[in-house]
Amino acid sequence: MPVFKALLTLAFPIILSNLFQAMYHLTDSFWVGRLGGSALASVSICGPIIFLAFSIGLGFAVAGSTFAAQYFGAKNHEMVNHTTAQTILVISLISLLLSSTGFIFAPNLLQFMGATSDIFPMALSFLRISFISVIFNFSFFIFQSIMRGIGKVKIPLFIVIGTVLINFIIDPILIFGFGPIPPFGPSGAALATLITQSLAAIAGFIILFGSKWGLDLKFHHFRLDLKFIKKAFLIGLPASIEQSSRNLAMIVMISLIAGFGTTAIASYGAGTNLIQIAILVGLGLAAANGTLVGQNIGAKDMIQAVRVSKLSAVISFFILSFIGLIVFLFSRQFISFFIPSDSAVIDGGSHFIRIVALGFGFIGLHMSFGHVFLAAGKSSTSMTLTLLSQWLIQIPLAYFLSQHTSLGINGLWIALPVTNITIAFIAFLIYKKGSWQKVQII
């Protein structure tokens, strides 16, 4: 199959799956936004904390996907099964630890985030329910990552579509109440996610433990393999650190934004809904890129791996740039969709997203090159790029521009596209150096 067709054939279901997965958050924002700016701010301030927990599991899911892709490319199906089982073991333990710890320390986390008294009770209830959901979210991460690694990308998509439709129905019922069901407010959105994610996790494990889709998990695959776990840990830990540092940076950004008031937090929350869509499209393209690059590395066809990686970078840049242009032109209409009754948030959110939108293409470049490094087993390179972008560029720049210049909150917004452009250029230079082509992990 030609590279372009193979890339898009694999990417399209992943992008759809990502977008439908995002519908959980977008649906929450849509309905919670009807409760007003304070309610939306209570959900928005929890977002980076929840994503931080997710990022830890995602890192180890990336390791499982990387191994699965390379073993699948090498036609070693026994090790694909072994990889899947060991990934389930590790991520299950991590999810239990994170869920319980997050539930206990939720008040402390919100205090650190600068949650004001008018949103603290709503945010605390939302956050604690969301931490319970972490166990089920992680279970679905395992399933989704393994399926992507072996190229079965349509199966997770069908599950996500089904659960999103269920979430769309029960979200307003739990938020506003219906008949004997009392209104739970913003917490209703978290309850709806808990219910639907548990259904997705159950469906995923039923499929994983069947042999219909190229997997045949047996009891012996689940015997603890410390040597393999150590190997996966070396791949997964940098990926987890990378994702965690990105979300820790979001927490710091929210803390800086909180200094400008509740309206600023709500504006950021409404605007990031659109940024999330662009990121998820980019992640879909990058995940397809990583799968094909990993499979070609496993098959020892580096020429094809290079061709895939170059084409993916070009496609990602132009698609995300086009999305950025659309968001820029219709920013006010998009923000109004999420928070129709608060003119201050509409003004602030549309101003914020216009500043950020035209840099979307560079987010695509960074993601594309980052997944090449992950597919080659060089997760430390991808991690270093993210640490550099968030902690040496974005946070210092955002702090300086917002606190020590006349730009104020605009300084926070400007720091985002400047960071995206800078780190995409650095990632390109590392990619061109070509050291990732010399790595084999299996």
Whether 363 and 282 have beta carbons less than 8 Å apart is answered as yes
**pLDDT confidence band for 149 (50 / 70 / 90):** low
Measured at the CA of 220, the angle between CA 215 and CA 223, to 5 degrees, comes to 115
- Give residue 262's pLDDT: 81
CA 97, 99, 103, 106 torsion-angle sign = positive
399 vs 242, which has greater pLDDT? 399
- Residue with structure tokens 């991590």? 94
Close Cβ partners of 36 (under 8 Å, ≥ 6 residues apart): 341, 342
Q: What mean pLDDT is predicted for residues 228-241?
A: 74
Give the model confidence (pLDDT) of 350-375 as tens digits.
999 999 998 999 999 998 888 888 77
pLDDT band at 107 (very low <50, low <70, confident <90, very high): very high
Average pLDDT, the chain: 82
pLDDT for 321 equals 94
Q: Check residue 284 and give its pLDDT.
A: 81
Say if residue 411's pLDDT is above 90. yes
Q: What is the pLDDT of residue 397?
A: 95
Q: Would you state the pLDDT for residue 236?
A: 72
- The tokens describing 184, both together, are 């739970």
Asked if 141 and 90 count as a contact pair (C-beta separation under 8 A), the reply is no
Which of the pair, 38 or 363, is modelled with greater confidence? 363
Give yes or no for residue 378 having a pLDDT over 60: yes
Angle at 148 between CA 133 and CA 11, to 5 degrees: 105
Structure tokens at 213: 């889709």
Average pLDDT of the segment spanning 102-130: 87
Residue with tokens 């333990």, as numbered in its chain: 93
Per-residue model confidence (pLDDT) at position 9: 75
Q: Which residue has the tokens 């990058």?
A: 286
Strand partners, 181: 178
CB 231 within 8 A of CB 86: no
Residue 313: CB atoms within 10 A of its CB come to 24
Residue 314 has pLDDT above 70, yes or no: yes
338/340 Cα distance (integer angstroms): 6
Structural contact between residues 58 and 242, judged by C-beta atoms closer than 8 angstroms: no
Fill in the DSSP letter of residue 391: I
Q: How far is CA 383 from the centre of its chain?
A: 15
pLDDT of residue 124: 92
Stretch among 103-117, 189-203, 235-249 having the lowest mean pLDDT: 235-249
Report the range out of 27-31, 72-76, 274-278, 352-356 with the highest average pLDDT. 352-356
Phi and psi angles of residue 180, each rounded to the nearest 5 degrees, phi first: -75, -10
Name the residue with higher pLDDT: 251 or 202.
202
**Cα maximum dimension of the chain:** 63
Q: How confident is the model at residue 195 (pLDDT cuts 50, 70, 90)?
A: very high
Say if residue 200's pLDDT is above 70: yes
pLDDT at 141: 75
pLDDT class of 416 with cuts at 50, 70, 90: very high
Q: What is the CA radius of gyration of the chain?
A: 21
DSSP-assigned letters across all residues of 245-313: HHHHHHHHHHHHHHTT-HHHHHHHHHHHHHHHHHHHHHHHHHHHHHHHHHHHHHTT-HHHHHHHHHHHH
Residue 330 pLDDT: 93
Q: Percent of the chain scored above 70 by pLDDT?
A: 91
What's residue 213's pLDDT? 55
Tokens read off for 341: 């009754």
Mean pLDDT, residues 44-66: 73
**Res. 53 pLDDT band, cuts 50 70 90:** confident
d(CA 416, CA 268): 12
Tell me the domain boundaries of the chain: 3-438
Confidence of residue 417 (pLDDT cuts 50, 70, 90): very high
pLDDT at 104: 93
**Residue 134 pLDDT > 70, yes or no?**
yes
Q: Angle at CA 434, nearest 5°, toward 431 and 439? A: 110
Overall average pLDDT of the 265-289 stretch: 82
Whole-number Å distance between alpha carbons of 18 and 24: 10
